[in-house]
Amino acid sequence: MYRSNFMIDHDALPPDLLRQLRLEPPSLVSDHVDIPVWTPSTDGKFTLASAKELLRPRRNDEVEDTVLKRCWQKHLPYKMSFLAWRVLERRLPTNDVLARFGFALPSRCLCCSPPGREIITHIFNHGSMARRVWTYFTESAHIRGTHHSLRSVLSRWWAQRPRSRMLSFLFHRLPMIILWEIWTHYAACKYGDARPNFARIIFRVATAVSECIYRRWPSGGLLPPRWSVIMEHVRRGSGRRRVVPIRWVPLPGGTIKVNVARAPLRGAYAAIVRD
């Protein structure tokens, strides 16, 4: 196969192998129509999923994170779901995250007394203000249990199975609302002139919950931003619909049936009698 000058002897090679070595294209003279084949897919057809898998292959050990998936709920502002995702993924500009990039800053939480380190777990879960807020809502919802991580806190809320559809709707969205209000209150204390105020956080959470319920059930009106009133309303299950059939019942002969249209605000009545 090789000559004395270490050159390939093309005459001694099979035609197929010689064609591969020379990189000669196959003959284009054919009766069949050329069809493009997308090799990354099994059926040879191009799909966006196969292109994404080619550019960003998924690891074999990667599984779907149900906690992150449940952060995205309908009738909930996108900013709240996005913040919950950033909290769980540790993508907030707190001191513990910035320290990984070489930034050493004074670490002091301004929402707690005594103040602690400015880290994600302290701001949203372990800090005195965060614990007080979570305890207030978990006790009002009769949710028991100790939680050592923020994921366990969220999972505990989502694991509840209340009978009221409106209460279930609330339990799946309230954790993201609490995280959002804790973060906005923390930012106001750090970058503004606000001071730690527990009642303010509760009021803002109740306001956001009332607006969230109104977006789902607008016919019920906007509830007042009082947490006790909201819990009493959702426990009654006001979101349930009651269907009452209305039928015309004919009367026996010789009788007259009068349909009355009442206007209580004006104190008037009207009746129509036909022959």
Residue 243 confidence (pLDDT): 74
| Percent of the chain at pLDDT exceeding 90 | 32
Indicate whether 139 belongs to any domain: yes
- CA dist 12 → 1, 16, 23, 145, 186 (Å): 6, 12, 17, 80, 80
pTM over 0.75: no
Indicate whether 145 belongs to any domain: yes
Say if CB 180 and CB 105 are below 8 A apart. no
DSSP type of residue 267: T
pLDDT band at 10 (very low <50, low <70, confident <90, very high): low
Residue 242 confidence (pLDDT): 65
Check whether the bond before 106 is cis (ω within 30° of 0).
no
Indicate whether 193 belongs to any domain: yes
| Alpha helix stretches (DSSP H) within 94-241 | 95-99, 120-121, 128-140, 150-158, 165-171, 174-191, 198-216, 227-235
Rounded CA-CA distance 145/157 in Å is 11
Q: Which residue has the higher pLDDT, 50 or 153?
A: 153
Residue type, 173: R
Say if CB 183 and CB 118 are below 8 A apart. no
Say if CB 166 and CB 217 are below 8 A apart. yes
Residue 240 confidence (pLDDT): 53
Among 29-33, 160-164, 263-267, where is mean pLDDT lowest? 263-267
Indicate whether 216 belongs to any domain: yes
pLDDT in tens, 131-171: 999 999 999 998 887 767 899 999 999 988 888 889 999 99
Burial 61-93 (b: 16+ CB within 10 A, else e): eeeeeeeeebbebeebbeebbebbbbbbeeebe
Indicate whether 51 belongs to any domain: no
Indicate whether 104 belongs to any domain: yes
266, exposed or middle or buried, with CB in 10 Å at 0-12, 13-18, 19+? Answer: exposed
Q: Which residue has the higher pLDDT, 182 or 267?
A: 182
Residue 100 confidence (pLDDT): 81
Query: Structurally, how many domains does the chain consist of?
Result: 1
Q: Is the pLDDT of residue 1 over 60?
A: no
Rounded CA-CA distance 117/193 in Å is 20
pLDDT in tens, 90-134: 899 888 888 888 877 777 787 877 777 888 999 999 888 999 999
Picking from 57, 178, 48, the residue whose alpha carbon sits closest to that of residue 123 is 178
Residue 194 confidence (pLDDT): 87
Domain that holds residue 202: 76-236
Over residues 10-34, the mean pLDDT reads 62
Indicate whether 142 belongs to any domain: yes
Q: At what angle do helices 227-235 and 128-140 cross, to 10 degrees?
A: 40
Residue 161 confidence (pLDDT): 87
Torsion of CA 246, 248, 252, 255, to 10 degrees: 100
pLDDT in tens, 206-237: 999 999 999 999 888 899 999 999 999 998 87
Residue type, 147: H
Among 92-96, 103-107, 194-198, 264-268, where is mean pLDDT lowest? 264-268
Q: Is the pLDDT of residue 5 over 80?
A: no
Q: What is the average pLDDT value for the chain, to the nearest integer?
A: 81
Indicate whether 228 belongs to any domain: yes
